[in-house]
């Protein structure tokens, strides 16, 4: 791929705010960040824009990508919700669609919200056939358990075997945990620790039943936690004690969960989490912290050593947002779908404003023109074909609020 560059945007690394700097991309990596003019003649310049690392969705189930939400909570744990889901007519409707197309649907749902990497929590044999076709990246190397309780699904080997694999290969061990309030589920963290699955490679999803003692143990062991606030509130009318986690220095990430229980997309989830935090703790969570929870914190949790930060040598996974006159961090956290100006994965632009079509043309990237949330966009791949296949499978034109797209006919 040709070398190319970006100029004019305020860069959030996300730890630092860099103004008046330009970024050069070479061989899929960030080659340099400089005040000098971009060397390559192939460069795009932004006015009033903010550049960040590509966003990372720390918890999703791509195979579960559908709409609307299903449930009649609050539930004691995840299992009765799952039973309600699988008995719902909309679940039977979803089952008419090929797994490949559900995966693609989930990929595009994430891509248009500036997500470049998704943690798709599912056994490897389920997700592996689809990794090469998705418009976004997924975390490929991980150990896992479905959850900790006796009624967990049979994902992976035993907890101790999976965690030792994580240590040996320096990959994350991912599990749902403390997702409910029945007597067994509230003991999940102690059970995980006894089974040898709690440590600095552990990524603990949900944790709504964690008490202060649990949070102290998590910090001591160096584990990370994924906050899925919208899904938690929908299913349980409670969420994790994130305020105490942040106070104790726990590495917290943000995930959406599936749209059948959780947020429409990661942009919505950031705003929802900020609002909920204010309601719970009567103080604001800084926008800088929210951005870290969808970039650098996730890279730390998932052992992605060359992602999550804008710096020379890192993978060129990038997102550019419109600067709406707020502070740069606030512009990102409050962004709507129309504000996503460009998404770059492995140095390759894959989605953005229609005004940047010459960049796609120069890099020989095939794309389709569409309107997203009222804004003219272009997107790599065949989103139109995907939606046509889904329409044929279910027998009508299905509307997805997480994919508000129109095509020029």
Interval 343-382: pLDDT, tens:
999 999 999 999 999 999 999 999 999 999 999 999 999 9
Do 306 and 296 touch, CB atoms closer than 8 A?
no
Please, which pLDDT band fits residue 409 given cuts at 50, 70 and 90?
A: low
Question: How distant, in Å, are the alpha carbons of 38, 43, 52, 104, 110 from that of 24?
Answer: 6, 9, 14, 30, 25
H helix runs in 209-293, sequence order: 212-221, 229-236, 242-248, 266-281, 287-292
For tokens 């009318």, name the residue: 237
Please, which pLDDT band fits residue 1 given cuts at 50, 70 and 90?
A: low
For tokens 């998590």, name the residue: 218
For tokens 């299992």, name the residue: 79
Cα 268 to Cα 228: distance, rounded to the nearest angstrom: 12
Please, which pLDDT band fits residue 325 given cuts at 50, 70 and 90?
A: confident
Average pLDDT of the segment spanning 377-392: 98
Residues 6 or more apart from 131 whose CB is under 8 A from it? Answer: 138, 140
The dihedral region occupied by 55, where left means phi > 0, alpha psi between -120 and 50, and beta the remainder, is beta
> 11-57, pLDDT tens digit by residue?
999 999 999 999 999 999 999 999 999 988 899 999 999 999 999 99
Q: 55-301: what CATH class?
A: alpha beta
Averaged pLDDT of the chain: 97
Q: 4-53+311-407: what CATH class?
A: mainly beta
List residues bridging with 369 in a β-sheet. 378
Cα 237 to Cα 239: distance, rounded to the nearest angstrom: 7
User: What is the DSSP secondary structure assignment for residue 303, as one 8-state letter?
Assistant: T
Q: What angle do CA 143, 298, 349 make, to 5 degrees?
A: 105
Residue 284 clears pLDDT 80, i.e. is over it: yes
pLDDT, residue 289, reads: 98
Please, which pLDDT band fits residue 136 given cuts at 50, 70 and 90?
A: very high
Residue among 314, 331, 350 nearest 17 (CA): 331
Residue 332 clears pLDDT 60, i.e. is over it: yes
pLDDT, residue 89, reads: 98
Share of the chain above pLDDT 90, in %: 97
Residue 268 clears pLDDT 90, i.e. is over it: yes
Q: How many CB atoms lie within 10 A of CB 257?
A: 26
User: What is the DSSP secondary structure assignment for residue 54, as one 8-state letter?
Assistant: P
Average pLDDT of the segment spanning 384-396: 98
> 241-261, pLDDT tens digit by residue?
999 999 999 999 999 999 999
Cα 203 to Cα 297: distance, rounded to the nearest angstrom: 11
For tokens 């195979």, name the residue: 63
Cα 111 to Cα 65: distance, rounded to the nearest angstrom: 13
Residue 326 clears pLDDT 90, i.e. is over it: no
Of the CA atoms within 13 Å of residue 188, those in its CB half-sphere come to 29
Enumerate the domain spans of the chain. 4-53+311-407, 55-301
Cα 3 to Cα 43: distance, rounded to the nearest angstrom: 9
User: Does the CA dihedral 215-218-222-223 come out positive or negative?
Assistant: negative
Question: pTM value?
Answer: 0.98
Cα 201 to Cα 172: distance, rounded to the nearest angstrom: 5
pLDDT, residue 40, reads: 87
Q: Output b/e per residue, 42-57; b: 16+ Cβ within 10 A.
A: ebbebeebbbbbbbbb
Q: What angle do CA 183, 189, 195 make, to 5 degrees?
A: 110
Do 332 and 291 touch, CB atoms closer than 8 A?
yes
pLDDT, residue 408, reads: 73
Q: Angle of helix 99-111 relative to helix 383-394, nearest 10 degrees?
A: 130
Cα 396 to Cα 304: distance, rounded to the nearest angstrom: 41
Do 145 and 182 touch, CB atoms closer than 8 A?
no
Cα 2 to Cα 45: distance, rounded to the nearest angstrom: 17
């Amino acid at each position: 791929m040709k070398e190319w560059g970006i100029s004019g945007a305020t860069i959030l690394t996300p730890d630092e705010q860099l103004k008046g700097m330009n970024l050069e991309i070479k061989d899929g990596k960030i080659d340099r960040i400089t005040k000098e003019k971009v060397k390559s003649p192939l460069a795009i310049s932004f006015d009033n824009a903010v550049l960040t690392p590509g966003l990372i969705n720390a918890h999703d189930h791509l195979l579960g990508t559908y709409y609307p939400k299903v449930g009649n909570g609050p539930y004691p744990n995840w299992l009765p919700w799952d039973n309600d889901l699988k008995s719902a007519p909309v679940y039977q409707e979803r089952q008419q669609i090929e797994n490949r197309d559900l995966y693609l649907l989930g990929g595009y749902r994430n891509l248009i919200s500036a997500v470049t990497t998704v943690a798709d929590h599912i056994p490897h044999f389920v997700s592996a056939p689809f990794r090469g076709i998705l418009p976004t990246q997924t975390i490929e190397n991980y150990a896992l358990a479905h959850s900790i309780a006796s009624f967990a699904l049979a994902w992976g080997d035993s907890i101790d075997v999976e965690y030792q694999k994580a240590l040996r290969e320096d990959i994350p061990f991912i599990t749902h945990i403390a997702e409910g309030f029945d007597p067994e589920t509230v003991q999940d963290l102690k059970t995980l620790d006894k089974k040898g699955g709690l440590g600095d490679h552990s990524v603990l999803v949900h944790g709504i039943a964690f008490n202060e003692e649990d949070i102290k143990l998590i910090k001591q062991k160096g584990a990370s936690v994924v906050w899925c606030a919208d899904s938690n509130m929908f299913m349980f009318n409670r969420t994790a004690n994130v305020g105490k986690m942040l106070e104790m220095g726990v590495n917290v990430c943000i995930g959406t969960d599936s749209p059948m229980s959780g947020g429409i997309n990661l942009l919505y989830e950031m705003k929802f989490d900020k609002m909920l935090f204010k309601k719970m703790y009567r103080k604001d969570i800084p926008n800088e912290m929210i951005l870290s929870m969808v970039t650098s914190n996730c890279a730390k949790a998932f052992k992605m050593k060359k992602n999550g930060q804008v710096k020379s040598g890192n993978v060129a996974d990038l997102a550019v947002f419109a600067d709406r006159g707020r502070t740069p961090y606030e512009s990102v956290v409050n962004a709507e779908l129309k504000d996503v100006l460009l998404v770059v994965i492995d140095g390759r632009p894959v989605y953005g404003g229609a005004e940047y079509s010459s960049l796609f043309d120069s890099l020989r990237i095939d794309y389709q023109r569409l309107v997203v949330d009222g804004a003219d966009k272009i997107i790599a791949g065949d989103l139109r074909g995907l939606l046509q296949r889904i329409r044929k499978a279910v027998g009508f034109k299905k509307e997805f609020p997480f994919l508000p797209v129109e095509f020029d006919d």
